[in-house]
Amino acid sequence: MKKKPSGFDKLAKQIGNVSKKIDGVTDLLSKFVTATKEDFDDVKTDAEKIERKVDEGFSRVERRLDGTVQPQLDEHARRIKKIETKVLS
């Protein structure tokens, strides 16, 4: 039969989890503190690559919208023009 965890067991588990998270943050901070200019340059380069990819992705979306939405808008404008011509004549 499995023993039901006591309040102390649950607390010990939570403390262990918090300790692991603190260790992770400590590791991250130590990496940041000991980072060199080259490390930051690498991060900047990666960020620039990501920015270019995002820009390219949005450009493709804009082209696709232009190819899809613009013909529909042109068709609506054509129909409106026909209606205006009939109503105003």
The answer to whether position 1 is within a domain reads: no
The answer to whether position 63 is within a domain reads: yes
Q: Domain containing 71: what range? A: 10-88
Please provide the average confidence, as pLDDT, over all residues in the chain: 84
CA–CA distance, 48 with 64 (Å, rounded to integer): 24
Total number of domains constituting the chain: 1
Alpha-carbon distances of 34 from 10, 27, 28, 45, 46, rounded to whole Å: 36, 11, 10, 19, 19
CA–CA distance, 19 with 13 (Å, rounded to integer): 10
Q: Model's pTM, two decimal places? A: 0.41
Mean pLDDT of all residues in 15-20: 83
The answer to whether position 49 is within a domain reads: yes
pLDDT tier for residue 75 given thresholds of 50, 70 and 90: very high
